């Protein structure tokens, strides 16, 4: 590789795998992170409490208590689904001569998409900071700028800047795109 190349070799970040196929590459991200274990503990606590709550409500004939608990029970089911997805899901970003496709599996998750590679002008990574009463959460996203100058979120919820940068660089390298600064991107 020449010293003037704009795409240096980048080591694989944690939870990222690169799969070369005939005429395509797939960047696979495993979702499991330390957050999964916190979610597991919290989900077990929340749902355990809701089982006790609903058992008391039904055995005592407290229908108002049961109705109130059903909203919290629905939150618990969503939390259990998120927890399971965080443990077992993967995301594949597949780039071939025609499309860039994002697929989350085995559990269904929003964000599946396919973008024709001829429409892609640039990629960039972005840091997302969320503040609430429990603290601050930092996640990372990868965005696509299309040739008609529209921005699309390709991936979100990445746990490290290294993952976001690696995915951005690998796609740019595969598509032969020169890395160009984009307004709003995180510093390199």
- Same domain, yes or no, for 171 and 107? yes
**86, 106, 126 — which closes off a domain?**
86
112 in Cβ contact with 89 (< 8 Å): no
pLDDT, tens digit, 9 for 90 and up, residues 94-144: 999 999 999 999 999 999 999 999 999 999 999 999 998 888 989 999 999
* Cα three-residue angle 109-112-114, rounded to 5 degrees: 175
CA–CA separation, 50 and 31 (whole Å): 27
Q: In this model, does residue 4 exceed pLDDT 80?
A: no
- Same domain, yes or no, for 80 and 98? no
**86, 107, 129 — which closes off a domain?**
86
Q: What domain range includes position 68?
A: 35-86
Number of independent structural domains in the chain: 2
- Same domain, yes or no, for 98 and 169? yes
This prediction has a pTM of 0.84
- Same domain, yes or no, for 108 and 67? no
- Same domain, yes or no, for 53 and 93? no
- Same domain, yes or no, for 22 and 98? yes
């Amino acid at each position: 590789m020449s010293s003037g190349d704009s795409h240096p070799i980048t080591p694989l970040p944690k939870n990222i795998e690169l799969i070369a196929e005939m005429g395509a590459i797939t960047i696979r991200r495993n979702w499991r992170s330390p957050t999964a274990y916190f979610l597991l503990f919290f989900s077990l606590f929340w749902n355990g409490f809701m089982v006790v709550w609903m058992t008391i409500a039904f055995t005592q004939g407290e229908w108002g208590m049961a109705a109130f608990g059903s909203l919290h029970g629905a939150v618990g089911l969503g939390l259990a689904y998120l927890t399971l997805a965080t443990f077992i899901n993967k995301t594949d970003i597949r780039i071939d001569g025609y499309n860039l496709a994002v697929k989350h599996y085995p559990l269904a998750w929003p964000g599946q998409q396919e973008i024709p590679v001829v429409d892609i002008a640039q990629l960039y990574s972005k840091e997302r900071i969320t503040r609430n009463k429990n603290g601050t959460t930092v996640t990372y996203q990868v965005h696509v700028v299309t040739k008609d100058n529209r921005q699309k979120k390709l991936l979100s919820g990445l746990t490290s800047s290294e993952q976001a940068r690696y995915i951005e660089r690998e796609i740019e390298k595969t598509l032969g795109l020169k890395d160009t600064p984009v307004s709003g991107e995180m510093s390199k």
